[in-house]
Amino acid sequence: MAKLQSENSILRIALPIPIYRLFDYLAPTDVDVSQLKPGCRIEVPFGKHLKCGFLVECVQHSDINIAKLKPAKRILDDAPLLSSKDLKLLHWASHYYHHPLGDVISAAFPVALRQGKAAILRTEKRYALTELGQTIDSTQLKRSPKQQSVLEKFQQHPQGLTESQLSAWNDNWKGSVKQLLEKQLLQLTADFIPTVADQVIGEANLLCNPPQQAAIDAVCAGLEHFAVFLLEGVTGSGKTEVYMQIIQEVLARGQQVLVLLPEITLTPQLEDRFKRRFAMPIAISHSKLTDNQRQQAWLSMRQGQASILLGTRSALFTPLKKPGLIILDEEHDSSFKQQEGFRFSARDVAIVRGKLLNIPVLLGSATPSLESLHNVNQQRYQLLHLPERAGSAQAPSLQLLDIRNKRMHEGICESLVNEIHKTLAKKEQVLLFLNRRGFAPTLICHGCGWVARCQRCDANLVIHYDEQTLRCHHCGQEQRLIKQCPACKTGELTALGLGTERIEKVLAELFADKTIVRLDRDSTQRKGTLENFLEQINQGDVDIILGTQMLAKGHHFPNVTLVAILDVDSGLFSIDFHAAEKMAQMIVQVSGRAGRAEKPGRVIMQTRQPEHPLLTTLIRDGYSSFANNALAERQDAALPPYSYQALLRAHAIDAESPLLFLRAVAESARTLDNGHTQILGPVAAPMAKRAGLYRYQLLLQSNKRQDLHKLLDKLLPQIDKLKLAKKVRWSLDVDPVDLY
Ligand code: ADP
Ligand code: ZN
Ligand code: ZN
C-alpha cells in the first residue's frame, strides 16, 4: 500500500462506466484538497479520453502505486451540485441495485452536466405593468390592436410574465412589448419570487367531498415528516384535486414539490391544471424535452426558482432546495421501473428519498400495485381511500360479452356493433381498446402453413397494411409486404389475428358516416399529432376512438359513454406471474375513461373465457377484492411481495455462451449461499432470441430481502472473474417487474 505524506490528496472517483469499482487520481497540484467536497464533478483522463467523474472521498492511501496514479485534470464544481442527503440516496441505490456508483450518480444529472458542462441557470427577462399600466383602460390603445392585446394579457397577469411565458402565448410579442416599455406602461422587473398570496390569482379550489378532505387533512397533518400515503381513488374520484390542495399547503410553507408521472403524454394535462391553479413557477422534465430544457428545470429546482417539478421517472433525482413533498401518480405503472442500465424503481427509490429528506411521499392510483397494498397491510403505508367519483359522475358498469360462436365482424361481435350504433345515435362517443398495433400479428400461408417470422427474433412479423410492410415489433426489422408464399410459391397468404389498423378498416365500413380516430404508436408518431387528436376528441369532432395502451392512461374523454375492450383473453394466459395484476389494472384503467361527466358509462369486454375467475372477481367485487385474492395467491406461492427476486439476464450471438455463463453463475451462487436462496434456472428467456441475440436468464429468490442481498454482494465479484463473462452481455435486475 502506498502512502502520500502530506494530506488526503488522493481522489477516489466514481466514473460513469459499467465497472464495479472506484478510481484513484492525484489531486491537481494547485487545488486545496481540504476544500473539496464529495459529489463535485471532476474531469479526469481515462484511457485516451477525458471523462467527467464524481468525487467520492479524498484519502491518503491507494492500493495502486502512487507513481502510477494520474493527476485529475480539472475540478468542475466549487461545491457539489447534489446535497449530502441526495448523495447518500445514490450510494444507497448503487448498493441496493448492485449497480456501479458512477453510473448511478451520473443518472441523477441532466446530460450536459454529466458531460461536464457548467451549471448555469439562464435567467429570463420578466416584464410587469407599471402603475400607469395597471390603471389605464386598454381600449385607449385600440388603434394598435397588438399593443392592446399585450396590455390586456398583462392586466390578466398582474404578477408579470417572463419571455418564455410570452412566447408560449404569442410568437409576436417583442415589438409590442418594446412599444409598451417606451410608453411606460410596462417595466422590466427584478427576478420575481411569487408569494403565497399570488396563488389566489389562480383558479379557486373545489369544495371537497368528505373522503377528499380526510385525505388532504391526513397528509397535511404529517407534513415535515417522513410517511408514505397510498391514495387509492377510483378514476374520476378527484385525486388530482387532493394533490393540488396538499401542494398548496406545501407551497405556503415555502417548500417545493416533486410530482412524478409514468408517461410523457400525461404531463401537458396536469401542467395545464397546475398552471391554472398555481401562480408559482412550474418546471417540467421528461425525455421529449431538449437537454437544455431539462437542465434548466433541474437547476431551477436546485436553486429554488421553481416550486413544482412535474416529470417522469428520471426526474426523481432532481435536487430540491427546499423539499416538502414527493407525489407519484399512477404508482402501479410499470414505467416507473427503468428496464435497462440502472434498473431502479422510481417508486421504491422515491420512498427512500422521502425517508432521507424526512418528507412525506404520496402514492396515488385507482389500481394500486400489489406491493403497495401489501405495504398498507403491513402498516408501512397509510391508506387514504376515495371510494366514489367526485361531483355527480357515476361509476361505469362492467359487463362481459361472451363471443363464443357469435357472429363477428372481423374482431367485433354483432351485438357490440348494435350497442355502438345506439350510443352514437345519442350523440355520445365510443372508445374501443385493443392492445395490438398494426393490421394483424401473423401472416400465414393458407396452402402450406408457412408463417412470416423475424429472422433475428423468436417472433412473428406484424403486418402493417397501410405502409405495405412486415415489421418486427421487437427489433424493428422491416421488409416489404409479400404477395406470394416464399415456401410453396402457390398458396394464398392470409392475415391472422387482429391489430388496430384492421379494426379501423372494419369500423370505417360498418360506420361509414362516422369520424373515427386511431391512437397508437404508429398513428401518433409525428410530434403534435396526439395532441391534435385529443383536441378533436374533446371538441366532439370524433365519434369513435380506437386505440392501444395509450388510451388506458389518464386521459379524460367526458363524452365517452361506451368503452369496449375487444380482447381481454390475451392477457389471461401468461407465464409471467405479474400478468394477472397488469391485466386487471388495464381493464379498470380503460373502464375509467367511460362516463366521466354527467352521463353514466358502460364497459363491455369481449371474451371467450366468461367464467375466468380473474374476470368474474374483478367485475363482481371490484379491484380491491381482486387484489386481495391475487395477494393471497402470491402468498401461497411465496412470490413477491412475499419474497424477493433478482433476475440475471445474459445474451450473446451464439446460443451456448449465455447458457454456460449462467450455469457457472448458478454454480457459484450455490456454493456461496447457505440455503436461504432459491436458484432457479438458467432457462431460455420467454423470447429466446431477440435482435439476433440468444437470451437466457437465472432467477434468484429469497424469503428475506437481506439474504438475497448478502448473496448478491458475494456473487457479483465472482461473476466478474468468470472467463465466460467476457463472451456475453449480462445484467442484473433487482425486483424485476417483468420476467421477460
Ligand atoms: P382522478 O385524478 O381521481 O381521476 P380528477 O381529479 O381528475 O380525478 O377529478 C375528476 C373530475 O372531478 C374533474 O373534472 C374534477 O374537476 C372533478 N372534481 C374533483 N373533485 C371534485 C369535487 N370535490 N367536487 C366536484 N367536482 C370535483
Ligand atoms: Zn405456402
Ligand atoms: Zn425481430
Give the pLDDT confidence of 352-367 residue by residue, as tens digits.
999 999 999 999 999 9
Integer CA distances (angstroms), 336 to 13, 383, 405, 440, 548, in order: 29, 20, 41, 30, 19
Strand 397-402 versus strand 256-260 pairing type: unpaired
Testing ligand 1's pocket by substitution, the residue of 208, 230, 232, 240 carrying the most ligand atoms inside 8 A of its CB is 240
Same domain, 231 and 374: yes
For atom 19 of ligand 1, the residue with the nearest CA is 238
Residue 4 binned pLDDT confidence (cut-offs 50, 70, 90): very low
Residue 50 binned pLDDT confidence (cut-offs 50, 70, 90): very high
Question: Which ligand neighbours the alpha carbon of 216 most closely?
Answer: 1
Residue of 526, 477, 120 whose CA lies nearest to 295: 120
The C-alpha cell that represents 271 in the structure block: 401542467
Residue 589 within a domain = yes
Residue 126 binned pLDDT confidence (cut-offs 50, 70, 90): confident
Q: Estimate to the nearest angstrom the gap between the alpha carbon of 179 and the chain centroid.
A: 45
Q: Evaluate if residue 5 carries a pLDDT over 50.
A: no
Kindly state the average pLDDT of the residues 525-542. 86
Question: Which ligand neighbours the alpha carbon of 490 most closely?
Answer: 2
Same domain, 348 and 263: yes
The CB of 241 under 6 Å from ligand 1? The reply is yes
What are the E-state strand segments in 221-345? 227-233, 256-260, 282-285, 308-311, 323-329
Cα–Cα distance for residue pair 519/593, rounded to 1 Å: 14
Query: What is the average pLDDT score of the chain?
Result: 90
Q: Estimate to the nearest angstrom the gap between the alpha carbon of 528 and the chain centroid.
A: 20
Same domain, 488 and 416: no
Residue 168 within a domain = yes
The CB of 367 under 6 Å from ligand 1? The reply is no
- Segment among 259-268, 467-476, 540-549 with least mean pLDDT: 259-268
Residue 325 within a domain = yes
Determine contact, residues 354/208, Cβ cutoff 8 Å: no
Helices of type H across 314-397: 346-357, 370-377
Q: Evaluate if residue 493 carries a pLDDT over 90.
A: yes
Q: Tell me, in angstroms, the distance from the centre of ligand 2 to residue 456's CA.
A: 21
Number of domains comprising the chain: 6
Instruction: Report helix, strand or coil for 700.
Output: strand
Same domain, 683 and 616: no
Same domain, 238 and 328: yes
The one-letter code for the residue type at 118 is A
Q: Which residue has the higher pLDDT, 313 or 576?
A: 313
- Segment among 18-32, 92-106, 702-716 with least mean pLDDT: 18-32
Q: Tell me, in angstroms, the distance from the centre of ligand 1 to residue 392's CA.
A: 10
The CB of 613 under 6 Å from ligand 1? The reply is no
The C-alpha cell that represents 663 in the structure block: 450455469
The C-alpha cell that represents 456 in the structure block: 433475428
Q: Tell me, in angstroms, the distance from the centre of ligand 1 to residue 308's CA.
A: 21
Integer CA distances (angstroms), 438 to 410, 461, 498, 729, in order: 15, 10, 8, 31
Residue of 30, 111, 9 whose CA lies nearest to 74: 30
Q: Which residue has the higher pLDDT, 16 or 199?
A: 16
The CB of 240 under 6 Å from ligand 1? The reply is yes
Residue 628, H or E segment: helix 613-636
Q: Tell me, in angstroms, the distance from the centre of ligand 3 to residue 477's CA.
A: 6
Residue of 401, 434, 398, 436 whose CA lies nearest to 417: 401
Residue 447, H or E segment: none
Residue 530 within a domain = yes
Please report how many Cα atoms fall inside a 13 Å half-sphere around the Cα of residue 225, on the Cβ side. 7
Same domain, 429 and 570: yes
2 strand-pairing partners: 62
pLDDT of residue 200: 42
Atom of ligand 1 nearest to the CA of 207: 23
pLDDT of residue 13: 95
The C-alpha cell that represents 148 in the structure block: 392592446
Residue of 483, 505, 501, 503 whose CA lies nearest to 492: 483
What are the E-state strand segments in 199-318? 227-233, 256-260, 282-285, 308-311
For atom 11 of ligand 1, the residue with the nearest CA is 236
Determine contact, residues 176/147, Cβ cutoff 8 Å: yes
Kindly state the average pLDDT of the residues 48-59. 93
For atom 9 of ligand 1, the residue with the nearest CA is 238
34, burial (CB in 10 Å: exposed 0-12, middle 13-18, buried 19+):
exposed
- Number of residues in the chain: 740
Q: Which of 317, 349, 384 is the last residue of a domain?
A: 384
The CB of 390 under 6 Å from ligand 1? The reply is yes
Q: List for the chain the helix, strand, coil content (%; round to 5).
A: 35, 25, 40
Percent of the chain with pLDDT over 90: 66
Cα–Cα distance for residue pair 463/470, rounded to 1 Å: 5
Residue 205 within a domain = no
For atom 15 of ligand 1, the residue with the nearest CA is 238
DSSP string, 164-209: HHHHHH-TT-HHHHHHHHHTTSEEE-PPP---GGGGGGSPPPPPPP
Q: Tell me, in angstroms, the distance from the centre of ligand 3 to residue 472's CA.
A: 5
Tens of pLDDT, residue by residue over 555-564, are 778 889 999 9
For atom 21 of ligand 1, the residue with the nearest CA is 390
Cα–Cα distance for residue pair 44/61, rounded to 1 Å: 19
Q: Tell me, in angstroms, the distance from the centre of ligand 1 to residue 389's CA.
A: 7
Same domain, 254 and 305: yes
Q: Evaluate if residue 336 carries a pLDDT over 80.
A: yes
Q: Tell me, in angstroms, the distance from the centre of ligand 2 to residue 452's CA.
A: 10
Q: Which of 166, 192, 218 is the last residue of a domain?
A: 192
pLDDT of residue 2: 45
The CATH number covering residue 659 comes to: 3.30.70.600
The CB of 233 under 6 Å from ligand 1? The reply is yes
Q: Tell me, in angstroms, the distance from the centre of ligand 1 to residue 310's CA.
A: 19
pLDDT of residue 655: 93
Atom of ligand 1 nearest to the CA of 243: 6
pLDDT of residue 197: 44
The CATH number covering residue 432 comes to: 3.40.50.300
Same domain, 379 and 402: no
Q: Tell me, in angstroms, the distance from the centre of ligand 1 to residue 472's CA.
A: 41
The one-letter code for the residue type at 90 is L
Same domain, 430 and 446: no
pLDDT of residue 11: 94
Residue 704 binned pLDDT confidence (cut-offs 50, 70, 90): very high
pLDDT of residue 601: 85
Testing ligand 1's pocket by substitution, the residue of 241, 389, 596 carrying the most ligand atoms inside 8 A of its CB is 241
For atom 23 of ligand 1, the residue with the nearest CA is 208
The CATH number covering residue 16 comes to: 3.40.1440.60
Residue 324 within a domain = yes
Tens of pLDDT, residue by residue over 568-625, are 887 787 778 888 899 999 999 888 887 666 677 899 999 999 999 888 999 999 999 9
Instruction: Print the domain residue range for 184.
Output: 124-192
Straight-line distance from the first to the last Cα atom of the chain, in angstroms, rounded to the nearest whole number: 45
Residue of 384, 434, 377 whose CA lies nearest to 632: 377
pLDDT of residue 191: 56
Determine contact, residues 38/101, Cβ cutoff 8 Å: no
The CB of 212 under 6 Å from ligand 1? The reply is yes
Cα–Cα distance for residue pair 406/420, rounded to 1 Å: 17
For atom 4 of ligand 1, the residue with the nearest CA is 236
pLDDT of residue 444: 96
Atom of ligand 1 nearest to the CA of 386: 3
Residues 6+ apart with CB under 8 A from 439: 462, 463, 464, 465, 466, 495, 499, 501, 502, 505
For atom 26 of ligand 1, the residue with the nearest CA is 391
Percent of the chain with pLDDT over 70: 96
Kindly state the average pLDDT of the residues 543-549. 92
The CB of 295 under 6 Å from ligand 1? The reply is no
Same domain, 622 and 546: yes
479 strand-pairing partners: 470
The CB of 547 under 6 Å from ligand 1? The reply is no
Residues 6+ apart with CB under 8 A from 472: 454, 456, 457, 459, 461, 462, 478
Q: Tell me, in angstroms, the distance from the centre of ligand 1 to residue 77's CA.
A: 45
Residue 201 within a domain = no
The CB of 235 under 6 Å from ligand 1? The reply is yes
Q: Which of 612, 633, 654 is the last residue of a domain?
A: 633
Residue 122 binned pLDDT confidence (cut-offs 50, 70, 90): confident
Cα–Cα distance for residue pair 580/578, rounded to 1 Å: 6
Cα–Cα distance for residue pair 441/485, rounded to 1 Å: 17
The CB of 239 under 6 Å from ligand 1? The reply is yes
Q: Tell me, in angstroms, the distance from the centre of ligand 1 to residue 264's CA.
A: 21
Residue of 430, 395, 397, 385 whose CA lies nearest to 412: 430
Q: Estimate to the nearest angstrom the gap between the alpha carbon of 720 and the chain centroid.
A: 32
Residue 554 binned pLDDT confidence (cut-offs 50, 70, 90): low
For atom 24 of ligand 1, the residue with the nearest CA is 391
Residue 525 within a domain = yes
The CB of 209 under 6 Å from ligand 1? The reply is yes
Same domain, 511 and 492: no
Question: Which ligand neighbours the alpha carbon of 482 most closely?
Answer: 2
Determine contact, residues 253/540, Cβ cutoff 8 Å: no
Q: Which residue has the cell 407525489?
A: 327
The CB of 208 under 6 Å from ligand 1? The reply is yes
What angle in degrees, to the nearest 10, is found between the helix axes of 84-96 and 346-357? 140
Residue 1 binned pLDDT confidence (cut-offs 50, 70, 90): very low
Cα–Cα distance for residue pair 554/531, rounded to 1 Å: 14
Same domain, 57 and 96: yes
